[in-house]
Amino acid sequence: MLSVLVASSLGIATGIFAFVAGVALTGSWLASAVIAAFAAGLVSLWAHRSPSLALDAGACSRGLKISSGVATLLALIVLARLASL
């Protein structure tokens, strides 16, 4: 479960960057949304199938997992807001 969350967070961040790059290159929001979805899916799949680090879910407490999840969510929101400017 932990590797799925890490892979999806990485995929979302990649999708945000790919969306901004797609808008800059094509000028079309629709084309950049397709590019972003493809890039996010590809990176999520790659990160889930071949993790570079072994994740041990028992190595951290429940409070640390919750605070890490909240921090990741807030960081993705800030990244999306910065990308929209």
- Count of domains in the chain? 1
Query: Is the pLDDT score of 35 beyond 70?
Result: yes
pLDDT tens track for 38-78: 999 999 999 888 877 776 777 788 888 888 888 988 888 88
Domain containing residue 43: 2-83
Cα(17)–Cα(33) distance, rounded to whole angstroms? 11
> Is residue 85 very low, low, confident or very high in pLDDT (cuts 50, 70, 90)?
low
Please provide the average confidence, as pLDDT, over all residues in the chain. Answer: 86
Query: Is the pLDDT score of 9 beyond 90?
Result: no
In Å, the largest CA–CA distance within the chain is 46
pLDDT at residue 81, rounded to an integer: 85
**Three-state SS across 2-52?**
HHHHHHHHHHHHHHHHHHHHHHHHHCCHHHHHHHHHHHHHHHHHHHHHCCC
